[in-house]
A = this chain, B = another copy of it.
Amino acid sequence: MAKKVVTMGELLLRLSTPGYKRFTQAESFDIVYGGAEANVAVSLGNWGVKSYFVSQVPDNLIGKSALNYLNRYGVNTDYVVRDGDRLGIYYFEKGNSVRSSKVIYDRANSAITQVDVDKIDFDEIFKDADWFHFSGITPALGESCIKLVEKAAEAAKKYDVPISLDLNYRKQLWSYEKFEKVMPNLLQNVDVCFGWLSGVEGETGEYKVADFTKEEVDLERFANVFSKMRDKFNIKYMVSTLRENYSASHNALSAFIYDGNEIYQSKKYDFTIQDRVGAGDAFAAGLIYKLVQGENHKDALEFGVAAGVLKHTVDGDANLVMESEVNEIVKGNVSGSVQR
């Protein structure tokens, strides 16, 4: 029986230059629709989960196109409110080799920032839900959005729905001070937390080793930070990825999970990159997919990181891979030989 997973957040129009064209060269933009939580929703819907995305999207044909996109990949959008002025946009230019990818946000005053929380029937949404996931990007969008996720987290708790939160601090959207003031309240209800608050290390990717796929990582440092977060907010699992950026075309990835007793590190993967965006969301989706089905957290982590690695091979924000493909990676088959 398929599980019902609820995600909530902003749905964005991504406008990407084709191939590796620069903004100043582009004569067209490729269209996909994404956003941290929407990406999780698509991963799950694509794997057969009853994936419900909650948001506000304008009642015009751009909004309709965005929802059609989610529907196409198995996401139910019945809970999306159709109101507000505009769909948020981000412009994306893909880098390669020594040239980094560029993101230009044009998401201010988007529909979700104008959401009227009273229009949303949280009971209807959560009464039969099996999981709720959101990210720290949504409360960054303004007071209505803070209220939105607070109400949602409360409703989820009311119905004993496990909650996962990807902290995902974005410095372009708000100050770290505001972030640290808002998140603790939300963290009270969280069961699985991606990232951590104000540690000595940054959230992800800043822990450096000389050659990541060959050297050992100092797990103690992670365990220490995770432990403090876990105790303070009564979180079941603390999770993080560890990424090494060799170039815009070549990265390595691993992940960690801490259950209070033990910090467990996943396999490490070294790979080239087709599209870097949404890999963290793909990782989160993979972990949630296994946890919501009751699998153990270590297997869930391995599935998550393999899903995250696979995302780098797929164009767009969303991780359009099959479960069987993820399982092949988990099993260690990264040879990429043709499947006939």
Residues of A that sit less than 8 Å from B by CB: 15, 18-31, 46, 60-62, 64-65, 68-69, 71-74, 85-87, 89, 91, 93, 95-106, 108-109, 170, 172, 205, 245-250, 269, 271-274, 276-277, 309-310, 312-316, 320-322, 325, 328-329, 334-340
Query: Which chain B residue has the least Cβ–Cβ distance from A318?
Result: B25
Number of copies: 6
- Distance, CA A104 to CA B91, complexed state (A): 18
Query: Which chain B residue has the least Cβ–Cβ distance from A26?
Result: B31
Q: Which of B15, B65, B104, B246 contacts A24 (CB 8 A)?
A: B65
Residues on B with C-beta less than 8 A from A316 are 25
- Minimum C-beta distance from A289 to chain B (A): 18
Q: Contact check, B245 vs A23: say whether CB atoms are below 8 A apart.
A: no
- Distance, CA A68 to CA B27, complexed state (A): 12
Q: Contact check, B62 vs A91: say whether CB atoms are below 8 A apart.
A: yes
- Minimum C-beta distance from A156 to chain B (A): 26
- Distance, CA A230 to CA B64, complexed state (A): 41
Q: Which of B65, B71, B98, B100 contacts A269 (CB 8 A)?
A: B98
Contact A103 B25, CB 8 Å, known A72-B72, A86-B108, A315-B19: no
What are 9 residue pairs bridging A and B, where the CB atoms are less than 8 Å apart in the complex?
A: A22-B320, A26-B65, A62-B106, A95-B338, A96-B274, A100-B337, A247-B335, A247-B336, A249-B336
- Minimum C-beta distance from A141 to chain B (A): 15
Contact A335 B245, CB 8 Å, known A61-B102, A68-B73: yes
